[in-house]
């Protein structure tokens, strides 16, 4: 099966790429641009890379305690991550167009005390 169509015009950003810490919560946002501003309710966020193989780390879910906020005026949804080490990692924003073609955009949230990548 071959799906065709334009990708969703989506990007992901973080206000501070070295923002994950045990002292304060961190976040990343998913932003849509024309002509896809009507897809804000269809944006999903998940972890792109599992943190490990132990039960509590072997998941693609956002860390427990994560919350969301949206800003329809800016076509933005923000994932707020808790103030703990599970807020570090590679996450993504995803949305699909009307033909079912998905666009997945990664975002990295490093620990505030990271020395290198």
Sorting pLDDT into bands at 50, 70 and 90, what band is 76? very high
pLDDT reported for residue 64 = 86
Q: Is the pLDDT of residue 56 over 70?
A: no
pLDDT score for 6: 80
Q: What is the pTM (predicted TM-score) of this model?
A: 0.82
Residue 89 lies in a domain: yes
Whether 115 is in a domain gets the answer no
CA distance 77 to 81: 13
State the CATH number of the domain containing residue 95. Answer: 2.60.40.10
Residue 1 confidence (pLDDT): 39
Q: Is residue 21 part of a domain?
A: yes
Does 4 map to a domain?
A: no
Domain contains 2 = no
Q: How many CB atoms lie within 10 A of CB 114?
A: 11
Q: Is the pLDDT confidence value at 24 over 90? A: no
Question: Strands across the sheet with 67-71, in order?
Answer: 10-13, 26-32, 76-81, 67-71
Q: Which range of residues forms the domain containing residue 72? A: 10-109
> Considering its fold, how many domains does the chain have in total?
1
Pick 24 or 117 by higher pLDDT. Answer: 24
Beta bridge partners of residue 78, listed in sequence order: 29, 69
Instruction: Kindly state whether residue 92 falls inside one of the protein's structural domains.
Output: yes
């Amino acid at each position: 099966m071959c799906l065709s169509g334009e990708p969703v015009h989506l990007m992901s950003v973080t206000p501070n790429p070295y923002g994950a810490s045990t002292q304060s919560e961190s976040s990343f946002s998913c932003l849509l641009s024309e002509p896809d501003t009507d897809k804000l309710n269809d944006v999903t966020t998940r972890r792109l890379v599992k943190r490990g193989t132990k039960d509590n780390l072997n998941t693609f879910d956002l860390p427990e305690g994560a919350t969301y906020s949206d800003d329809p005026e800016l076509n933005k949804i923000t994932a707020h991550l808790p103030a703990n080490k599970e807020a570090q990692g590679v996450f993504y924003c995803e949305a699909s167009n009307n033909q079912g073609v998905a666009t997945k955009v990664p975002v990295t949230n490093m620990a505030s005390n990271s020395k290198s990548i």
